[in-house]
Amino acid sequence: MNDYIENLNWRYATKKFNSEHHISDADIEKLQEAIRLSASSYGLQPYHVFVITDGELRQKLKPSSWGQGQITDASHLIVFANQTDFDAQLIDGYINNVSETRNIPEDGLKGYGDFMKSKLLELPKDIKAEWTAKQTYLAVGNLLSAAASLKIDTCPMEGFEPEAYNEALGLTEKGLNAAVVVALGYRSEEDETQYYKKVRQSKEELFTHI
């Protein structure tokens, strides 16, 4: 646990990446697994994750990302895209996965599936989209912590135009929307931000024990 806390103190939102230093395929696989194993409400994971290394595409996305250099200089760009709407197919697919993974007859899971449907399917479309977008942030948190444990730098980013990302990645026709972006790579020695002291609320301000 001490190492975990040390890693969290080590990480920061990297402003300038070393564009010559690339993440190994083995480490990318570990980070993808950390994303895959993230907590998600009901276990549904109503999003898709794009791992982008294509330089031309990233140059295209940069103007829509407030011109931030992390978009093009980082080793990898991760785009978390939430489903903008869903129907019973999302839940039925999850129930089928549970059945196959745990070797449980689907009939034995029908009650749970019906419960999820009763809670989720009647929600207005905008509320569904808001809920699915929130799920992506659970996965982002896992990614940031896992990357820190590998001493891989990250910069989570909301400073971009989702509509432009949706168009560039063909997301709208897939029923997806770019919710949050994470740049991954290794910090540049020229990034002065790495030397700043981490600023957070004190424990006394942040926590109340009841």
196 part of a folded domain: no
Give residue 166's pLDDT band: very low, low, confident or very high (50, 70, 90): very high
CA distance 120 to 75: 37
| Residue 199 located in a structural domain | no
In the chain, the amino acid numbered 110 is K
Q: Domain tally for the chain?
A: 1
Query: For residue 128, is it within any domain?
Result: yes
pTM: 0.96
Q: Is residue 75 assigned to a domain?
A: yes
pLDDT of residue 1: 85
In a domain, 168, yes or no: yes
**Token pair 């745990």 in the structure block, residue:** 102
Tens of pLDDT, residue by residue over 43-89, are 999 999 999 999 999 999 999 999 999 999 999 999 999 999 999 99
Identify whether 65 is part of a domain. yes
- By residue range, what is the domain housing residue 95? 2-191
Count of residues in the chain? 210
The CATH number assigned to the domain holding 107 equals 3.40.109.10
In a domain, 201, yes or no: no
- Within a domain: 137: yes
